[in-house]
C-alpha cells in the first residue's frame, strides 16, 4: 500500500460544508477521511454518502458500545452506508464484537461493502487513575493487551492504538493482517502545540513501529495550507520508514 493510502484525515469540524471543502482539497493526498461523533451528530449519514460520492473512503469513528443486538444493527447500518472502517469498544465484550463482525459479513455476502471492524481498547485519554475510578485496577498497558487479544479472538479486523502501544500489540497479535490504526501523530517539524494529545509520535516512527494507518487531524486541517501539510506528512511516511523514534 502506498503511503498516501495509509493516511486518514480526521474531519473534526462543525459543519458538513467545512468537511466537504476539506475533502475536495485533500482527496488526492489522503486515502481516507474520518467522520467522528461531532460531525456525524450534526450532519447525519448524508455526510458519509457525500464523501464517498467524491471518490473517497470513510472511517466512521462512532465507537459503538451497547447490547449486542444494538451494535449488530449499528454495524449493519455502517456497512450499508459503505464505510471502509468503523469502530466499536472492545470493552463491550466478545459477543458484542462478534455480532458486529457477523453483520458486516452479511452485508458483504449481499454484495455490499465489506467494512473492516476496529476495536477501541483503552481510550488514550484514560490513565491509571481514571481507570481505577471505574474499577479497572490492572495497569493500562495490561488492559490494552487483554482487550486487543479479546478483539482478535472475536474476529475483529484490527484496533485503534496510540503510537506507544503499537509494538506490544504487534507482539500480542502476530497476525500481520491485523490492522493497527494510530492517532497521536505530530510531524517531525511540528511547530504547533501537541493540543490535547498526550502520547505522540512522528509519522515515520508510527509507520516504523508497525501502524497500518495514521489518523491525523489538526496538524493538517488547522494548517494555513492543509494540502501542503498533508503532502509533508505523506513524504515523512515515505522517506523515513526506519529512522523515526516514538517520543
Of the listed pieces 41-49, 134-142, 169-177, 195-203, which binds ligand C5P according to CB under 6 A?
195-203
Show the 3-state SS of the chain.
CCHHHHEEEECCCCCHHHHHHHHHHHCCCCCEEEEEHHHHHHHCCHHHHHHHHCCCEEEEEEEECCCHHHHHHHHHHHHHHCCCEEEEEHHHCHHHHHHHHHHHHHHHHCCCCCCEEEEECCCCCCCHHHHHHCCCCCCHHHHHHHHHHHHHHCCCCEEECCHHHHHHHHHHCCCCCCEEEECCECCCCCCCCCCCCCCCECHHHHHHHCCCEEEECHHHHCCCCHHHHHHHHHHHHHHCCCCCCEC
Using CB under 6 A as the binding rule, the residues of this chain from 59 to 118 that contact ligand C5P are 61
Binding ligand C5P by CB under 6 A: which of 183, 187, 203, 226?
Answer: 183
Measured from the CB atom, the residue of 94 and 247 that comes closer to ligand C5P is 247
Measured from the CB atom, the residue of 61 and 165 that comes closer to ligand C5P is 61
- For position 144 contacting ligand C5P by CB under 6 A, the verdict is no
Of the listed pieces 46-54, 71-79, 166-174, 211-219, which binds ligand C5P according to CB under 6 A?
211-219
State the residue number with the nearest CB to ligand C5P. Answer: 217
Binding ligand C5P by CB under 6 A: which of 56, 143, 197, 212?
Answer: 197
Nearest approach in angstroms of CB 216 to ligand C5P is: 5
Contact 97, 90 (CB under 8 A): yes
Nearest approach in angstroms of CB 63 to ligand C5P is: 9
195/228 Cα distance (integer angstroms): 20
- For position 215 contacting ligand C5P by CB under 6 A, the verdict is yes
Nearest approach in angstroms of CB 162 to ligand C5P is: 7
x/- site string to ligand C5P, residues 27 to 56, per CB under 6 A?
Answer: -------x-x--------------------
177 is catalytic: no
Binding ligand C5P by CB under 6 A: which of 217, 229, 233, 246?
Answer: 217
- For position 218 contacting ligand C5P by CB under 6 A, the verdict is yes
Contacts of 156 (CB under 8 A, 6+ apart): 88, 90, 97, 100, 101, 117, 118, 119
Nearest approach in angstroms of CB 179 to ligand C5P is: 16
**Catalytic amino acids?**
63
Amino acid at each position: 500500500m502506498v503511503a498516501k493510502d495509509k493516511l486518514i484525515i480526521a474531519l473534526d469540524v462543525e459543519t458538513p460544508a467545512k468537511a466537504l471543502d476539506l475533502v475536495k482539497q485533500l482527496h488526492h493526498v489522503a486515502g481516507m477521511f474520518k467522520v467522528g461523533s461531532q460531525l456525524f451528530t450534526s450532519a447525519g449519514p448524508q455526510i458519509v454518502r457525500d464523501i464517498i460520492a467524491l471518490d473517497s473512503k470513510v472511517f466512521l469513528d462512532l465507537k459503538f458500545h451497547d447490547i449486542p443486538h444494538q451494535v449488530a444493527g449499528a454495524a449493519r447500518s455502517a456497512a450499508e452506508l459503505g464505510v471502509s472502517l468503523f469502530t466499536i469498544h472492545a470493552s463491550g465484550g466478545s459477543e458484542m464484537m462478534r455480532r458486529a463482525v457477523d453483520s458486516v459479513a452479511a452485508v458483504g455476502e449481499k454484495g455490499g461493502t465489506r467494512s473492516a471492524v476496529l476495536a477501541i481498547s483503552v481510550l488514550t485519554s484514560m490513565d491509571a487513575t481514571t481507570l481505577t475510578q471505574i474499577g479497572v485496577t490492572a495497569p493500562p498497558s495490561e488492559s490494552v493487551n487483554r482487550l486487543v487479544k479479546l478483539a482478535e479472538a472475536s474476529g475483529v479486523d484490527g484496533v485503534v492504538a496510540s503510537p506507544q502501544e503499537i509494538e506490544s500489540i504487534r507482539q500480542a497479535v502476530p497476525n500481520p493482517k491485523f490492522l493497527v490504526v494510530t492517532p497521536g501523530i505530530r510531524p517531525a517539524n511540528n511547530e504547533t502545540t501537541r493540543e490535547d494529545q498526550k502520547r505522540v509520535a512522528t509519522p515515520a516512527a508510527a509507520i516504523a513501529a508497525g501502524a497500518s494507518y495514521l489518523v491525523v487531524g489538526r496538524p493538517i486541517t488547522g494548517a494555513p495550507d492543509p494540502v501542503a501539510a498533508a503532502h509533508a506528512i505523506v513524504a515523512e511516511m515515505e522517506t523515513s520508514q526506519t529512522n523515526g523514534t516514538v517520543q
